[in-house]
């Protein structure tokens, strides 16, 4: 597994999005733990979670507790593993995703995450989404206070536009290390934010890099470019790998700061994702894929017809 820079740290080129292990359709705990352990065995050193990754109406923190248990039960070395969590969203009983960027809430949420993860300081704490009812600078100010208090080591923002990233950078300086926005072969409306992260030296963590939960269920519909459904399948067939692995390799080629965090709920899927770090696409293949925007359903149907057979689920992989 090759590594990339996230702030002052080096983490694996491919992370694990742990969300599918705790929301609707989640696996039993034994398979969930096996999935995290398979990621670690594959060289993954970035685990992404959030306090809101739980079933609707349940207590916050299911996913954080699961990640903590998986690390504690792992037989190998976990000293180099970075756990990134997020605060500022909720999941009430109706299954919706709420937003709360009040600084008092964010500080309380971070302290609760700290206890669940069982660490002295959270490695990377991210504002999950800007709250339109709260000035963005105030929410980011809570991250600055958490940094100053030593409760978090690094800070990030998620679901932000370019102006918000600049504002967070002004407030946090080099302690802002990452931006986590949705970005995939089918959803490319964060191109400007990706370029800005490269300019500012920030890691860009694409969430749902292979699709998964639709944009409409969280943030409203997005515009998707015309599709060329054969592109990812054709490249995958040429390399004898899954279209999902090609999609992740394409993301890695977009910028040296990109660190995809595909979701998984079974060991074989994260093993396939991790192997994308070793897949090198040539210039002609990248040009073909850059011109393609493939709907999630097409990528996953293609996987069932050729190459390994990872299954789709929440977070883009299952």
Contact yes or no for 177/6 (Cβ under 8 A): yes
**Number of residues that this document lists for the chain:** 318
Consecutive H or E run containing 203: strand 203-204
**Burial degree of 163 (CB within 10 A; 0-12, 13-18, 19+):** exposed
Return all residues near 310 (Cβ < 8 A) that are at least 6 apart. Answer: 242, 244, 266, 268, 269, 272, 273, 303, 317, 318
State whether residue 215 is helix, strand or coil.
helix
What Rg value do the Cα atoms of the chain yield, rounded? Answer: 18
Supply the residues annotated as catalytic: 53
Torsion sign, CA atoms 260, 3, 203, 152: positive
Report the alpha-carbon distance of residue 226 to residue 93 in Å, rounded: 36
Report the alpha-carbon distance of residue 21 to residue 34 in Å, rounded: 11
Contact yes or no for 58/26 (Cβ under 8 A): no
Report the alpha-carbon distance of residue 139 to residue 127 in Å, rounded: 8
State whether residue 257 is helix, strand or coil.
coil
- Residue 90's nearest CA partner among 66, 59, 119 is 59
Consecutive H or E run containing 126: strand 122-127
**Burial degree of 200 (CB within 10 A; 0-12, 13-18, 19+):** middle
φ and ψ of 158, to 5 deg: -140, 150
């Amino acid at each position: 597994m090759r590594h990339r820079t996230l702030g002052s740290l080096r983490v694996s080129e491919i992370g694990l999005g742990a969300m599918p292990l705790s929301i609707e359709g989640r696996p039993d705990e034994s398979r969930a733990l096996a999935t995290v352990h398979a990621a670690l065995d594959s060289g993954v050193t970035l685990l992404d979670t959030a306090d809101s990754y739980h079933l609707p109406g349940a207590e916050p923190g299911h996913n954080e507790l699961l990640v903590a248990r998986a690390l504690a039960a792992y037989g190998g070395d976990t000293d180099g593993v970075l756990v990134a969590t997020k605060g500022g969203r909720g999941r009430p009983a109706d299954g919706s995703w709420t937003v709360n960027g009040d600084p008092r809430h964010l500080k309380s949420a971070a302290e609760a995450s700290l206890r669940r993860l069982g660490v002295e300081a959270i490695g990377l704490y991210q504002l999950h989404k800007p709250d339109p009812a709260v000035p963005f600078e105030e929410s980011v100010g809570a991250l600055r206070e958490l940094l100053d208090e030593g409760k978090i080591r690094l800070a990030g923002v998620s679901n932000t536009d370019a102006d918000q990233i600049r504002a967070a950078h002004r407030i946090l300086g080099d302690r802002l290390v990452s931006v986590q926005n949705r970005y995939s072969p089918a959803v490319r409306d964060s191109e400007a934010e990706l370029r800005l992260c490269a300019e500012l030296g920030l890691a860009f963590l694409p969430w749902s890099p292979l699709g998964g939960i639709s944009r409409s269920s969280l943030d409203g519909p997005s515009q998707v470019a015309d599709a060329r459904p054969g592109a990812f399948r054709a490249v995958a067939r040429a390399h004898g790998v899954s279209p999902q692995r090609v999609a992740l390799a394409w993301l890695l080629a977009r910028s040296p700061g990109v660190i995809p965090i595909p979701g998984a709920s079974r060991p074989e899927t994260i093993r396939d994702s991790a192997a994308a770090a070793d897949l090198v696409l040539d210039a002609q293949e990248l040009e073909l894929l850059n011109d393609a925007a493939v709907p999630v359903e097409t990528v996953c149907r293609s996987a069932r017809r050729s190459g390994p057979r990872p299954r789709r689920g929440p977070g883009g992989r299952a």
